[in-house]
C-alpha cells in the first residue's frame, strides 16, 4: 500500500472534519465524480464541496477513512477500504454510519487528485 494514498485519505478526513469543504473540493480533479450510495453523481470540485457541505449542515461529522488496499497502474491508483461517519440517528441520538469506500486517484506531479469517489 502506498503511503501517499494513506496520507491523501488522512488529508481528506482532516479537511472534512474541519468543515473546510471549499478546500475539500480542491482535492478532486476538475472532471471528478462523487457517486454516493443510492444517490445521483456529483461532478466537479465546486459541486463536490457543496455536496459535502450539505452533509455537514445536516449534522454529519467525524469522518474516518481506513485504506485497506491500493492497486497501482502507472499514474492511476485505485484505493479501497472502510469509512465511518457520525450523524443523526433516532430521537436525536448520534449514530455511527460506515461501509466500503473506493477512490480512483491520479498522480498530478507530486500530488494526488481524486477522479472517482464512491461508497456503500
Chain centroid to Cα 29, Å, comes to 13
Chain centroid to Cα 65, Å, comes to 8
What pLDDT score does 110 carry?
85
- The tens-digit pLDDT sequence of the chain (120 residues) is 578 999 999 999 999 999 999 999 999 999 999 999 999 999 999 999 999 999 999 999 999 999 999 999 999 999 999 999 999 988 889 999 999 999 999 998 888 999 999 999
Three cell numbers written together for 69? 488496499
What pLDDT score does 108 carry?
86
Separation between Cα atoms, residue 38 and residue 87, nearest integer Å? 17
What pLDDT score does 1 carry?
52
Alpha helices per DSSP H over 18-68 = 21-25, 45-57
Q: Which of 99, 115, 98 is nearest to 107 (CA)?
A: 115
Torsion sign, CA atoms 52, 57, 59, 61: positive
Amino acid at each position: 500500500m502506498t503511503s501517499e494514498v494513506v496520507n491523501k485519505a488522512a488529508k481528506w478526513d482532516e479537511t472534512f472534519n474541519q468543515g473546510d469543504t471549499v478546500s475539500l473540493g480542491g482535492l478532486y480533479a476538475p472532471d471528478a465524480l462523487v457517486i454516493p450510495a443510492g444517490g445521483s453523481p456529483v461532478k466537479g470540485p465546486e459541486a463536490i464541496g457543496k455536496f459535502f457541505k450539505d452533509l455537514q449542515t445536516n449534522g454529519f461529522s467525524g469522518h474516518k477513512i481506513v485504506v485497506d488496499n491500493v492497486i497501482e497502474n502507472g499514474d492511476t491508483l485505485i484505493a479501497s477500504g472502510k469509512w465511518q461517519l457520525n450523524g443523526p440517528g433516532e430521537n436525536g441520538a448520534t449514530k455511527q454510519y460506515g461501509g466500503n469506500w473506493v477512490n480512483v486517484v491520479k498522480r498530478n506531479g507530486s500530488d494526488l487528485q481524486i477522479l472517482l469517489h464512491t461508497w456503500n
